[in-house]
């Protein structure tokens, strides 16, 4: 079963460091809980990144318990905790993004690898396509539609940055599904071509001719991080809150699935040609 997910890559990094310090000191989580006057669940959640804010006194007490007494090392831990607790732009969209756990990780990732079978990934959607999808999920209040659209478009700011690298394998079925009508779909496919050509993302189409493939189980995104202590994370958007997969064997399974569909897909250049043909068909 996947672990309950934390808040940001910074949470995960600090939590991993605290766990490493405890293990290096040869202390059990039970012993730490007793010495700190906590229950063991709190220690476990702390080491899984499931915390919002850490008190400086608690952090320094933990460090001392772990025999990390150098002021500069304790100061570095305190600084990491403060950075992790800093709110991102997504905190202003809790009404439509919830905790923003996925967006927080997406913002700090160095690589994003999408596989999508039925829809264009949200990060790559045009405004008109996104609105059609949001309404398709049953949102009828126009104010909420606009609010969700604003949050989705705000995510796309990262496409203007050097990092993360963005790859997407999109099944032909997603490009043939008439979301919003022919004009909206044409606009969306043109947008994908432009992202390819501008180097903002690598888009590869998985054509119907491939037949059955490993990605038929559903869409997902693999998030990679620069710090070697930050393991990759898989996120599956189910149209509601979504959920994470973080166990090593699960990550490996999704990685193998992604590699398989990536190799089966058309190259980015071939995909551009293929998508232009789809546009011509839509406009007939």
Q: With H, G, I as helix, E, B as strand and everything else as coil, classify residue 140.
A: coil
Residue whose C-alpha is closest to residue 178's, from 123, 121, 140, 133: 133
Sheet of strand 111-116: strand arrangement: 202-206, 165-171, 111-116, 220-224, 233-236, 243-245
Regarding predicted confidence, which is higher, 89 or 198? 198
Residue 267 and residue 204 in contact, taking contact as beta carbons nearer than 8 Å: yes
Spatial contact of 231 and 246, defined as CB atoms under 8 Å apart: yes
Q: So what's the pLDDT on residue 7?
A: 55
Q: Give the mean pLDDT of 243-268.
A: 94
* pLDDT (average), residues 244-259: 92
- What is the pLDDT, as a whole number, of residue 108? 84
Nearest-CA neighbor of 173 among 118, 122, 107, 218?
Answer: 118
Cα–Cα distance for residue pair 266/251, rounded to 1 Å? 24
Q: Which of 19-33, 36-50, 81-95 has the highest mean pLDDT?
A: 19-33
pLDDT the model gives residue 254: 96
Q: Residue 40: pLDDT above 70?
A: yes
Is there a contact between 18 and 62 (Cβ–Cβ < 8 Å)? yes
Compute the mean pLDDT over every residue in the chain, rounded to the nearest whole number.
Answer: 89
pLDDT score recorded for residue 11: 74
> Percent of the chain, pLDDT > 90?
61
Inter-residue contact 2 to 243 (CB < 8 Å): yes
CA distance 212 to 235: 23
Q: Domains, the chain, ranges and CATH?
A: 9-85 (1.10.260.40), 89-282 (3.30.870)
- Region 178-195 average pLDDT: 96
- Taking only the tens place, the pLDDT of each residue in 66-120 is 999 898 888 888 887 877 766 778 778 888 887 777 888 898 899 999 999 999 9
pTM above 0.75, yes or no: yes
**Which of 183, 177, 206 lies closest to 282, judged by CA?**
183
Three-state SS string over 48-86 comes to CCCCCCCCHHHHHHHHHHCCCCCHHHHHHHHHHHHHHHC
Task: Summarize pLDDT for 3-21 with one digit per residue, the tens.
Answer: 434 456 667 778 878 888 9
């Amino acid at each position: 079963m996947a672990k309950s997910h934390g808040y940001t890559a910074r949470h995960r990094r600090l939590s991993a460091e605290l766990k490493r310090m405890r293990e290096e000191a040869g202390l059990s989580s039970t012993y730490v809980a007793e010495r700190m006057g906590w229950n063991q669940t709190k220690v476990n959640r702390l080491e899984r990144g499931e915390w919002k804010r850490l008190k400086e006194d608690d952090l320094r007490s933990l460090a001392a318990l772990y025999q990390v007494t150098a002021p500069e090392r304790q100061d570095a831990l305190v600084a990491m905790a403060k950075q992790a607790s800093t709110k991102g732009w997504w905190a202003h969209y809790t009404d439509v993004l919830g905790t923003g756990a996925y967006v927080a990780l997406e913002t700090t990732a160095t690589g994003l690898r999408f596989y999508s079978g039925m829809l264009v990934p949200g990060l790559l959607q045009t405004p008109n396509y996104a609105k059609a999808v949001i309404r398709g999920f049953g949102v009828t209040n126009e104010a909420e539609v606009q609010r969700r659209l604003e949050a989705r478009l705000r995510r796309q700011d990262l496409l203007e940055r050097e990092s993360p690298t963005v790859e997407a394998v999109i099944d032909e079925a997603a490009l043939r599904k008439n979301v919003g009508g022919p004009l909206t779909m044409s606009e969306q496919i043109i947008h994908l071509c432009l992202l390819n050509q501008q180097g903002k993302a690598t888009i590869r189409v998985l054509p119907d001719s491939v037949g059955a493939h490993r990605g038929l189980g559903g869409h997902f995104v693999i998030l990679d991080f620069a710090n070697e202590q930050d393991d990759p994370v898989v996120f599956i958007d189910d149209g509601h809150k979504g959920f994470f997969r973080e166990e090593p064997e699960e990550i490996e399974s999704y990685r193998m699935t992604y590699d398989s569909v990536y190799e089966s897909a058309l190259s980015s250049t071939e995909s551009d040609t293929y998508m232009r043909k789809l546009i011509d068909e839509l406009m007939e």
